[in-house]
Every structure is written in C-alpha cells, then in structure tokens.
Amino acid sequence: MTYHPITKAIRLQNERSNEMEHSVPLFLTSSFCFDTADEMRAAFADESDDNIYSRFSNPNAQEFVNKMCALEGAEAGYATASGMSAIYASFIALLKSGDHIVACRAVFGSTHTLFTKYFPSYNINVTYIDANKPELWEQAIQSNTKMIYVETPTNPGLDIIDLKLIGDLAKKHNLILSVDNCFATPIGQRPIEFGADLVIHSATKWIDGQGRVLGGIILGKKELIHQIYLFCRNSGPSISPFNAWVLSKSLETLDVRMERHTNNALTLAKCFENHNAIKWLKYPFLPSHPQYKIAKKQMYNGGGIVCFELKGGLPSGIKFLDSLKMLTLTSNLGDTRSIASHPSSTTHSKLSEEERLAVNITPGLIRISVGLEHRNDIIGDIEQALNVL
C-alpha cells in the first residue's frame, strides 16, 4: 500500500527493539559496536550500512532524514547541526576554486556573509539576480557556473522565485539547482517537483516549530548527497541524536501546525493590508503580492510569515516593537508563539545599507512570524501597537 508523504512523516520510524516501544528511543551514544573484526572492517570500508560513530550516522538522525525525504520527495538526505551548517556543506562539498554561483539577491544574512566575506578567499564567486527580473537569470550564467542557489520565499522580503523557470534553466545548462525551502516547508512547497537537485532547511524553524533545538538538513539526488555526506563525515557538522529525535517527532505534527500558521498569517495579512500606519504589506497569497501568480502556481499555501513597511521608518519600527504586549521580540521564526523582528538591525545587519535597500529591507521593515495563538489575540496585539504610532 502506498501512503501519503504526510502519513509517512508520522509512521516511518526505526525498527522496534525487543522492548517493543511505540515511540522510538534515543540513541545517545558516540559509537557503535561490532560482533566481529570483519564486520568492523566492512563498515569502515563502506561495504555495509552499519553505524560506526555518531559523527557519521545515528539511528535518530537517519529516521529524521527518512521522514524528510518522504515529505520532499527526495532520494537521500543528510542532517546537520544547524541550517547554516547545511547551507555551507552544500556549497563546499560540491564546489571548487574557480566555480561560480548564480543566486537570488535576497538571501539570509549569514548566507550573504559566506558569499561576500569567505567565498572570495576560496575563489568562488557569486552573481546576484533580482527576484523580479527573471530575464536576467540566463544572462548571468558563465562558463564556470556550477550552481543556481535560491530562497523562495526569501527572508525577510518574501520574494517568490519561479522554480519552474530556473529548474528548466538549470537542466538546460547542466547546473545544480539548490533551493532553501525553509520558509515554505515541504507542506507548502516541494522544489524537487520543479527540478531542484538539492533542498535545504533550517530545521530550527518550522520543522521543530517550538523554538527548542537547532538542526539543518540537505535533501536531494543521491549522488550529490553522498558527496555532501563524505564532506560532513570528515568535517563534523553532524546533528546531535537528541536534536534529531526531537525533530523527527516534530514532523508528526508539521502538517496540522502549518495549517494553523498559514490560516492565521493570511487572516492577519488581509486585516492589515490597508492599515493607515502601514506603507505596504506582503504575503505570498495576497493578490497584491508582486509574484502572486507564481506563488499560487508552485505553493500549496502562503507560509507563516508576513512582512510590512511602517510609515515613519526606523522610529516607527522601534515604537511599534516596544509597544507589543504579547508578540515576542527574538531573531527566531517558525515558533508556536508569534514573533516580531526588525531585520535591518538583526538578521541582516551585516549587509550594508545599500545592500539592504537593494532587497527592500528598509529601516521600517517588520517581519512577523505568525504563531499558533488564537488569531484574534495576534491581531489585537499588532493593532494596539500600530495605534500607538
């Protein structure tokens, strides 16, 4: 019988032990034992799939990977200690000196730092393309281009990249297409269906969903994941068994959580789209979003993030945040609790003012990660803070 991916995320688990547990146990061990010297030799020679050391593999990590592969429709995967370690490993394991990346201009601040501060010393160069200029993607491809890298929706501006367009482009030029799917989750979008070779998540966000643990994961084609695994096996950004266990259990509720997150977010977006204190508001499933048609084509829902620009810029932003009574001020997102943040001074503060403005991160931009509270309470807190302005 063939099960739906959401069912697989709930039912897939490691084989039961002799204790006949219903919930999978924690494998809090640094290493694993062998019955014979030859079994140990075979494991180190990659002649078997036996676990050796938790830096290489662990049953809890593998269960998490198996569930995420089912949700994303991926052949293989590897779990890491954080979202950024997953992003870094996906680059450094597959690229070499002299290679070139074409990327969407709006990327997470730490990813931008990798591109601009560290990759030049490796002689790996990046060309940024605006999300609203799809005609420029093919023009940016060079003879040494190896990878196309995008976030969609982007953080924090919620730009939408046409995955079918760049998927076809990557195939045409024999390039690796890597997609950061953190904001959408596999419940909202499956990039592999549009030609992505790799899909990356900061599992710290919606995958965990409760602000408890760090984790990252890379999913995609088996031959690419194997290269990434070999790099991670030797460099060490492995996920802890405990975090993997937590994240695997979290996947059992991801679908129902995202239904509430996205319904709350759409309601909030509709409520405040025309508020007199707001200059503009963006949400992928609002018809006013510049890439609304693309979002509806490739996404199952609009996600749990709403962003808006306050009239009055930075002073209004500070006053708004300080006036919130329920929403949390923190740099995380994807929590059960609604979160408000100011990207210009936090997650994207390492960008220059010119770089921030180029991707519409203005001084008055507010990012709301919409939680699971009752929608009236979320709306009420935002409304009272806006009314102070």
Residue 332: Cβ within 10 Å count: 16
- If asked whether residues 133 and 147 sit together in one domain, one would say yes
- If asked whether residues 114 and 217 sit together in one domain, one would say yes
- If asked whether residues 306 and 292 sit together in one domain, one would say yes
Give me the CATH number covering residue 138.
Answer: 3.40.640.10
- If asked whether residues 175 and 196 sit together in one domain, one would say yes
The DSSP symbol for 53 reads B
- If asked whether residues 221 and 269 sit together in one domain, one would say no
- Look at residues 202, 225, 253 and tell me which one is the last residue of a structural domain: 253
- If asked whether residues 143 and 182 sit together in one domain, one would say yes
- If asked whether residues 290 and 330 sit together in one domain, one would say yes
Helix (H, G, I), strand (E, B) or coil at 347: coil
- If asked whether residues 44 and 171 sit together in one domain, one would say yes
* Mean pLDDT along residues 275-304: 97
- Which one, of 299, 268, 289, 281, lies nearest residue 372 by Cα? 268
17: number of CA atoms within 13 Å, CB side? 8
Q: How many domains does the chain have?
A: 2
Q: What's the token pair of residue 2?
A: 């063939």
Cβ(257)–Cβ(269) below 8 Å: no
The per-residue pLDDT for range 348-375, each reduced to its tens digit, is 777 777 777 777 788 889 999 999 999 9
Kindly report which listed range (114-123, 171-180, 357-366, 378-387) carries the lowest average pLDDT score. Answer: 357-366
In DSSP notation, 202-243 reads ETTTTTT-SS----EEEEE-HHHHHHHHHHHHHH--BPPHHH
Q: What is the pTM of this model?
A: 0.95
Q: How far is C-alpha 228 from the geometric centre of its chain's CA atoms?
A: 17
Which stretch of DSSP H or E encloses residue 308? strand 305-310
- Which one, of 336, 246, 255, lies nearest residue 23 by Cα? 246
The per-residue pLDDT for range 234-271, each reduced to its tens digit, is 999 999 999 999 999 999 999 999 999 999 999 999 99
- If asked whether residues 243 and 275 sit together in one domain, one would say no
Q: Is the peptide bond before 153 cis (omega within 30 degrees of 0)?
A: yes
- If asked whether residues 264 and 222 sit together in one domain, one would say no
Residue range(s) defining the domain that contains residue 36: 5-253
The per-residue pLDDT for range 166-189, each reduced to its tens digit, is 999 999 999 999 999 999 999 999
